[in-house]
Structure 1
Amino acid sequence: MQITTTTLSFTVDDVAASQKFLTAHLGYVEQAAADGFASLTRPDAAADIVLLARGTEVLPPEQRDRRASGTILAFTLTGIEAEERRLREEGVAITMPLREEPWGERLFQVTDPNGLVIQFVEWATEQS
């Protein structure tokens, strides 16, 4: 098996709201879209994202009414302070402020209009 890309699929109530949030604030671009569906990508190593409207019949019946819940979409990056500042300046609510965990993980979170939690992570470097 050779994996060529990773795609995360989220079932949401309002596809357009999540699509707008991800394209306006996180640099995603639309690959394809239709009523109740959007496929988004970025030119870097981030995972592609598919958004499906809750209740859509393309999903198996047991999955149709589920929401993106209990899932954290996490991106590892560099320059986390600048990224948090940029998002704040764009009016994005920071739902978990920047903090550093004892094991060296620096992180903050935002939440999209459908409740999808997006976490940004940077590993702290050792001070010399």
Structure 2
Amino acid sequence: MNIIASTVSLTVADVAASSRFLSTHLGFREVTVAEGFIRLARDDAAADIELWAGERTPTGAVVSFTVTGIAAEHERLLREGADVTTALRLEPWGEWSLRLTDPNGIVIQLVEWAPPAGF
């Protein structure tokens, strides 16, 4: 598996307040804003942060890795008996996604952007 980016996704009560805090005090900037969702990034090697409104996971946190070759990784994880809690699927916003859950309930998400049609 080749990991090319990392993201921490957090479920919070007030997405805007958390975004302001991370921007003001830790130098993050908003790169994507939608209803109930903000993605923040920095120009250095820090992981991106996604803020989600409401309940998204039992733990309130998701560690997400952008990878290459996600279909092969899905097959490998199934062969190894990993707890794949969301099977590989194409999301409406254009990424392939799957989720694993570790023995302590931490959700690990693997994603790979799908190329636009015609590429």
TM-score for the superposition, normalised by structure 2:
0.50
Q: Which has the higher strand share?
A: 2
Greater RCO, 1 or 2 (C-alpha within 8 Å, sep 6+): 2
Larger Rg: 1
TM-score for the superposition, normalised by structure 1:
0.46
